[in-house]
Structure 1
Amino acid sequence: MELPDLEKGLDHSVVTKRHKVRLVLRTVFHGLLMCHHATVNVFGGFIFFKAIQHENQEIRTMGSFAAAFGTNWNFAFQSVFLFLSLIYDVCEWLSIQDGPRAKKIAYWRDIVFTSLVVPYTLFVSLMFWTVYWIDRELVFPTVYDSIVPWWFNHCVHTNISIVVLVETLLQARRQPVNLKLELIITSVVAVAYAIVYYAIFFFANRWLYNVFGIMTWWQVCLYQLLIWTSTYVFYYLQFPVNRLFHGSEPESEKTVIERVETKEPPMEKGLEEPKIDSTPVFEKKENGIAKNFEIAAMQTKQEEADGPFSSDNWSLKYRSLRDKFENSRL
């Protein structure tokens, strides 16, 4: 793991100690959150089976479309991320984080976090509580309280933001791991989710969320654009926010990332790119080869030497005539 710029110049033992402290914090955090998500998933299963057998039609409908809710999609993304994070923490404790499998785990852990967890967690949490504050019947009807406890609602709509916040503080992710792949994943999920709730409307003749039911079609289109735009805004915003906590990216790390993208061989430490001197040098080459600008300069000198008043190239006849004109008196 790369250490922040603020730790440059510190004693190696101090840096190692801080790294261990962070590793302990990350492991405890990922372990506790993994237990939290596992408990919520198990309890959510009980809610699902109770919902599909409930006497209230609205609650039965909620149970039937449970897999379509964006809240459940996002919670699944977070569960996968925490699982990968905990595995990589174990690899660090066993000092095998440099192995090929551990690197793949870290790679996909970061991909899942940046492309799925951050944008959709912030969207779900912000959009849910905003609409809930305006009119809860549009997003979480009161009838759901009979089967969904208040604490469960906060687990899937509030605590999810804590995952993003604490993870941002504990782990430096200053820039995308693979920008193209991350944007593809974010876009595919955004389009797939839109297809799901529009398909429910056309085939089941009802909206998955009541907030769509009070809108006209042009308002639905604008709201859909807002959903997609906010997702990409959250994606791009996470990197400058991360740099606020972990400092700017070290030059060595930039070089490594650029090398991966351009497939360039590694640059040896201490070597710099040769500087090209832009000052023209008009020297004769030993091998007889001259550069274009040198040839142009020599041609210019030759033209000056071959000018109409150059005494070196005048014939004796015309030189004598010139001398007569110069020495004559009017």
Structure 2
Amino acid sequence: MGFLSALIHFILVVHYGYGIHVYLFGLHPPEEFLKHRVAFGGPFKYLTFWDMLLQFAYFALAFINDVFGSNTPIYEKRKPLQRLRDFVFSTVVFAGGVFVTVSFWGLYLFDRNLIFPPIFDSWFPVWLNHNVHTTPLVGVLIELYLNPHSFPRRRTGFSAVALFYLTYLVWVCYIAYASGHWVYPILAYLPVGGRVAFILLMSVLASSFYFLGETINNKVWGTQIKAHKMD
């Protein structure tokens, strides 16, 4: 299991690393899209890019832990690298990966013009689309079933997830205020009330994925992990 874990972590590091490289330097969108893409905030205005960086950093950390750390289900025997790995995964990495995939493909299937208009297909490769929007869910589910993770107290874990998304929402609102443009087309289409409701709904959905990760982890590893008592 140790070799398999390290191999998968290494593959995902390369996968995300190459995807980030192409995302930053290998795309050639039409002029009208290029202006928006490089405008205020550049690629850092997109949650999907935040998540790409987050997933890349996490699987690099997980690979380093495979080599130098520990991978034990017993809480007291975890080395510092595994403790860090577990905390980062159980909070922002799992919730972020699931949310990016579910929200993107949910909106895509409902009306792709709200999130990824057909014209994007001419300059945004299909494989990169899946790298950015599908692999996050696949990767975190494989990781959840492959390795034991000790989740923090619910108050701590949920607060970390909520803070992450609150930071991003403030950033999105600031971009709209400073540039006059919303990062995502759906926010531009909605009236003010609908925009507020949509943001609140997405915030609740995103934060709820912390509990989903905790539930799955307990079902897979619950009998082996000596974890903190939940609040």
1:124 and 2:103 are equivalent in the alignment: no
Alignment partner for residue 34 of structure 1, among 6, 13, 16? 13
Q: Give structure 2 stretches of 5+ with no counterpart.
A: 72-77
| Distance apart, 1:110 and its partner CA | 1.2
Please list the CA deviations of residues 270-328 of structure 1 after superposition, one character each: whole Å capped at 9, or x if unmatched.
xxxxxxxxxxxxxxxxxxxxxxxxxxxxxxxxxxxxxxxxxxxxxxxxxxxxxxxxxxx
Structure 2: distance between partners of 1:81 and 1:143: 32
Q: Find the counterpart in structure 2 of residue 243 from structure 1.
A: 218
- Asked whether the 8 Å contact 2:144–2:217 carries over to 1, the reply is yes
Structure 2: distance between partners of 1:197 and 1:110: 28
Per the normalisation by structure 2, the TM-score is: 0.87
Structure 2: distance between partners of 1:123 and 1:132: 14
1:79 and 2:56 are equivalent in the alignment: yes
Q: Find the counterpart in structure 1 of residue 74 from structure 2.
A: none
Amino acid at match of 2:108: Y
| Distance apart, 1:157 and its partner CA | 0.3
- Asked whether the 8 Å contact 2:51–2:96 carries over to 1, the reply is yes
Q: Find the counterpart in structure 2 of residue 141 from structure 1.
A: 117
Larger radius of gyration: 1
Structure 2: distance between partners of 1:245 and 1:112: 19
Alignment partner for residue 210 of structure 1, among 170, 178, 185? 185
Q: SS of 1:212's equivalent? A: helix
Please list the CA deviations of residues 144-191 of structure 1 after superposition, one character each: whole Å capped at 9, or x if unmatched.
223211110111101111111101111123x52354443332122111
Q: Alignment identity in percent?
A: 23
Amino acid at match of 1:243: N
| Distance apart, 1:227 and its partner CA | 1.2
Moved more, 195-204 or 175-184: 175-184
| Distance apart, 1:247 and its partner CA | 4.2
1:185 and 2:185 are equivalent in the alignment: no
| Distance apart, 1:200 and its partner CA | 1.8
Higher helix fraction: Structure 1 or Structure 2? 2
Q: Give structure 1 stretches of 5+ with no counterpart.
A: 1-21, 96-101, 262-330
Q: SS of 2:26's equivalent? A: helix
| Distance apart, 1:232 and its partner CA | 2.0
Amino acid at match of 1:77: L
Q: Which has the higher contact order (CA 8 A, sep 6+)?
A: 2
